[in-house]
Amino acid sequence: MTPRFTIIATLASLATFTACNAQSALPNTANAACVAKAHQSALNLPQGATTVPPLATGALTLTTAAQRGLWPREGPAVRVCGDVAKGFARCQAWLRTDVRGKIDQDTPGGYAPSDLQTAYGLTADSKGNGAGVTVAVVDAYDDPNAAADLNVYRSQFGLPACSVSNGCFSQQKFTSQTNVGWAGEESVDVDMVSAICPNCKILLVEAASPGMADLSTAEKYATAHADYVSNSWSGNEGTKTFDSDYATGCGAIVAATGDTGHNAIAQWPAILPTVIAVGGTSLTSVSPRAETAWLRSGSACSKVYAKPSFQSTLNTGCSMRAEADAAADADPHTGVAVYDTFRQNGWLVFGGTSVAAPIVASAFALAGTNHVNPTENLYSHVSDFNDVTSGRNGTCGAPMCVAGNGWDGPTGLGSPKGTGAF
């Protein structure tokens, strides 16, 4: 049964959480740029470092909140980033306000890495794949606690160490300015990459501001230094000025479709045909997996970008490009454990398509494949998704607002089912 919750989003709570005035495991490929980038990932290490030690078989043996029957559960949530003006983006993270610290003795609330791996059929891949592969996450502002917080998260769940000193974690800062909401978003992003691809290296790229120009500068750095890129933020489509910064000849770029349900204005950069648009689900059970469309998962028809060839045979309800392409857990009711100390001290639970985007990006990293058109490749593997067939995100009807067999707006082709689709 899909949980429902009351969103607490008063001006007071928004003021509390945001200040938004502001070698490689990749196989050989015919694309020379991909090969060069893959070698760069393996070589971009401190002196004396090699790669992340592979996750040992049986390392994830801790009992999780879900395994103890304590998760998921309903509760209030707030956005951590506030509304923004034209030309800016907002992060898409939602914070549970009723779950702080550990939910039961030594166990944080929210889904743990082993829960997400089980739900999406990634357990074996998460243990054996990803060494030498870099996943970048692009956000705004600096989180000075990012490395230390990441260490606590990975230690709690028995994941291999990922630090600057061992060459696993790196942070590219375009500013020293901080922001409470975006710091929480950054913790979500690096923790979710860790949860799905524990053997991957992580590059955190911090834009100077949430302005589209600054985020696009950060994106260019990410695509030049990583194999896969995740963007847990969005703004309204309109200008095409920065579109070329979100096109890469290898790997994949993913972006969140937003958390306002069906939208009259498509969310950028997710709506770009070169980007994997990631919506959200309510993951109400891990084993057996039970998943419905999240009521706030973003979906929309573009008014700017023509219908791409990979959607030409689908009934999307749009004459232009449609979002989403794929989906993963996003409902704060079924949210994930995150460790963050920049403002809220310690263990928290987050949701939002901010959670879903790095999950999907990391599934690409586990597959370790390169495609000149990653989005087109995704649509050629429809049977390799968990088709999400129930739930809705608005009143516009199927398929744009109602999940059903095959493609739909809230969840696209569905959620990961192993790495076959990627």
Buried b (16+ CB within 10 A) or exposed e, 166-187: bbbbbbebbbeebbbbbbbbbb
Q: Which residues of the chain are modeled with pLDDT < 70?
A: 1-61, 249-250
pLDDT in the model for residue 345: 81
Crossing angle of helices 212-225 and 32-43, rounded to 10°? 90
At residue 251, the pLDDT reads 85
Question: Strand 276-286 vs strand 385-386: parallel, antiparallel, or unpaired?
Answer: unpaired
Global pTM reads: 0.88
Query: Residue 109's pLDDT is what?
Result: 97
CA dist list (Å): 206 to 22, 98, 233: 13, 29, 13
Helical packing angle, 146-156 and 180-196, nearest 10°? 40
Among candidate residues 201, 161, 228, the one with its CA nearest the CA of residue 367: 228
Q: Give the C-alpha separation, 333 to 349, whole Å.
A: 9
Closest CA to 393 of 299, 316, 300, 295: 295
Other C-beta atoms closer than 10 Å to the C-beta of 405 total 10
Contact residues for 57 (Cβ-Cβ < 8 A; gap 6+): 127
Q: What is the CATH architecture of 23-416? A: 3-Layer(aba) Sandwich (3.40)
- pLDDT value at position 154? 98
Q: Is the peptide bond before 160 cis (omega within 30 degrees of 0)?
A: no
391 DSSP 8-state letter: -
CA distance 139 to 416: 24
